[in-house]
Amino acid sequence: MVKILIVYDSKTGNTEQMAYAIAEGAKQVEGVEVTVKRVDNTKLEDLLNADGIIIGSPTRYGQMSAKIKDLIERTIEIHGKLEGKVGAAFTSSGGIGTGAETTLLSIIQAMLIHGMIIQGRSDDKHYGATAFEKPNEEELEVCRELGRRTAELTKKLHKN
């Protein structure tokens, strides 16, 4: 079984809703076990035990939230041990041009520093899934696709 961990921070429930849509998509891939965890309940061991890690944060001044940043800062203790794992990112923000892409890139940057392999998308939403305020059905479908594509990539790369 390939293990996908979805970690999120959410104050209003918007990012949480996206996390569960991503989980729906990942669960569509056979042979994949999906765990969704609020960042407050996530331990470094959870990251080590996952084959694929998808992190979501509300946009805060064009960056990830303080709680997500704290989790990433704590990963210094396991630096080098996430190498080769698949990573992806998602965010919810207050509107167009309010920092969604820079938030995604801040999460992806940390993943790249860990040597993770990032799931991108060529046609649209290149850096990950985004939603403006409460996600609509189209945005939730992009979340499901992100989950599905990340699970498929993880499964391909972690064949036993």
Residue 65 neighbours by CB under 8 Å, 6+ apart: 9, 39, 57, 58
Instruction: Give the domain extent around 7.
Output: 2-157
Q: C-alpha dihedral over 70, 71, 76, 80, to 10 degrees?
A: -150
Q: Which two tokens stand for residue 115?
A: 């040597």
Element (H, E) at 89: strand 86-93
Mean pLDDT for all residues in the chain: 95
132: burial class by Cβ within 10 Å (0-12, 13-18, 19+)?
middle
pLDDT of residue 77: 98
Please write the tens of the pLDDT for every residue from 26-65.
Answer: 999 999 999 999 999 999 999 999 999 999 999 998 999 9
Count: domains in the chain: 1
Distance of alpha carbon 113 from its chain centroid, rounded? 15
What's the pLDDT score for residue 100?
Answer: 93
* Nearest in space to 87 (alpha carbons), one of 113, 63, 61, 67: 113
Domain with residue 78: its CATH number is 3.40.50.360
How far is it, in rounded angstroms, from Cα 105 to Cα 148?
Answer: 20
pLDDT digits (tens, 9 = 90+) for 128-143: 999 999 999 999 999 9
pTM attached to this predicted model: 0.96
